[in-house]
Structure 1
Amino acid sequence: TPDGPKDPKVNALMALSKELPDWFRAANAKHAACCRVLTRGFDMAGGEHKKQCIAFTGLCAGKVAEILCRELGVANTDAEPIEGLKEPYLPPVQEAV
């Protein structure tokens, strides 16, 4: 809009767009949103990080659905809130040769 930051709709949208990454940082045990930090220690070529990535993607999709239901006034049929991970996914321990 032409009013930019003075427009209440812009401010509301900015707050909503900030909600997901703030939640994600709090919800994952590494308190990060950066892939480099989240996958540190994993053998990327071996695909060890995929389990963590799938879990994070699912958590974020659930949180987006929760936010949309709240903002659109639509009933959320999933009664359980999206809480996040209790522990970080850790890379497998490499055995010394």
Structure 2
Amino acid sequence: MNKPAFWDGVLQRIKNNTSEFSFNNWFQCINNVYTENSTLHLELPNAFSRNWMIENFSAIIKEALFAELGEEYQLKFHVSAPSKEVAVEQRREVEE
């Protein structure tokens, strides 16, 4: 899925309101962003990143979305499915 056209503006607002470290560490690792109705879906690389984003950045993301679009969105955070290469490599490590 393609990221929504407004996402770059939302990211810029977040970048202006968080530390450079936080932005680079947490927002640059988002693998995919898409919308479905009034829900913004964010895919993160692992459960730790997903949980950290939920606990620490949900409000900031919602504020940036509202500032950018003038409407409220629900947020859903997902863990990205591993690529086939990663899954094969993980299986090899388990078998060895």
Q: Same fold (TM over 0.5)?
A: no
Q: TM-score, normalised by structure 2?
A: 0.28
Higher strand residue share? 2
Q: TM-score, normalised by structure 1?
A: 0.28
